[in-house]
Structure 1
Amino acid sequence: MPTPLPNRPPAPSDPDERKAQARRVLRRLSADHGDAVCALHYDTPVQLLVATILSAQCTDERVNLVTAKLFADCPTAADLAALPIARLEKYVQSTGFFRNKAKNIKSCCTELVEKHGGEVPRDLDTLVKLAGVGRKTANVVLGTAFGIASGVVVDTHVGRISRRTGLTTEVDPVKVEKDLIELLPKSRWVDFSHQMIYHGRRVCDARRPDCENCSMRKFCPRVGVS
């Protein structure tokens, strides 16, 4: 097992104990954050795909402000593909890295129109071939828009809390996802990510986790670690 980094207690070494810990975490997430949903605003899978591309290195709140105007003017893949790149850049400028994001969105939507009838494909391998779409984005769209559990979405909240609660010692999102897939029932993959994100925003802050008021306090190895 890798040596844990500071403030990252080791995950239980026994596989059965790690699964037991995962069950404890799942129970508390369901009880505390059963209302968790995707924070990005969208009406169609295409819009969720575009919003998720924009969310890289940007807050969901900012993305929602941008897409409210963008999707009102350009609601479909065909509309977005036809939009001149300079105009698309103006729409998304405040999300950061806007030139690259605009380029990817235009290329992605053009391919959706030309190869997929303007619709989002429902399989991971096809999705990750689209411009600007990695495994995380594909998992978000498949899980949230279609209810297809293709994997576990690992953002900064999911990674951080998974390490703090002892579900993984990994830092790389791909390795974190691999550990979580082994621990969690497939039926919980989609909800788990949404609920972990809520827990990160409401309780387990990156800098100031509210351990005193956390329902996982009794079994979280992070408690008491300075």
Structure 2
Amino acid sequence: MLSPKLVRRSVLAAVRRHHSSAPRSLPSAAYTDPARTQEASTSGTPYDISEAQRDTLHAALRVDQAGEVAANYIYMGQLAVLGRDRTTGPLIQEMWDQEKKHLSVMNKLQFQHRVRPTVLWEVAKVAGFGLGAVTALMGKEAAMACTEAVETVIGEHYDDQLKELDEMKTSDPSIPLLKDVIREFRDDELEHLDTAVEHHSQRAPAHALLSTVVGAGCKVAIELCKRI
């Protein structure tokens, strides 16, 4: 019997597959389309929010940017080891390509909202690459288990951010767009999670232990990047 979390993932995957063939403009296109760089939603930042809310906004974007840096280097590390595998290599490359877009958009959001990046930027690169490479050396299933654990934490983290942003009442159009971008990226991350499960992440040796360690590490990194 599937756990509630697995059922939720399966439902989300079915919804995404149902809508994937329909043409639609993704929220992130506001940051990838050069013609839209001067729109109010992509060039401004809210001034009608409290200092506490601004701190929340800055902490959220600081963490998201650092998380996308780490994600890029995790997939880079995995691809360095498993890139020649005919099945796993293209799969990792596809997920990495999506993370590259995420990072590009987060970099633009950081600049737009004048957010100070975390000083742990270089640490995120090294730790991400090391985690990706080490789990890939443990085997394809372990690499997928790493992805499953990371994306589970990130998906939940994005959900928490959306709740915080829902409480941020502002007339500035940048916040509604930011929420839409976060929803898009959350769904992308959950799709990576689904992909990892479909490719036998739960067959990895010591899957429960590996998931616990990686997930706990991600949660610690999130709290550190919020503050530093």
- Structures share a fold, TM > 0.5? no
Greater helix content: 2
Q: TM-score, normalised by structure 2?
A: 0.26
Q: TM-score, normalised by structure 1?
A: 0.26
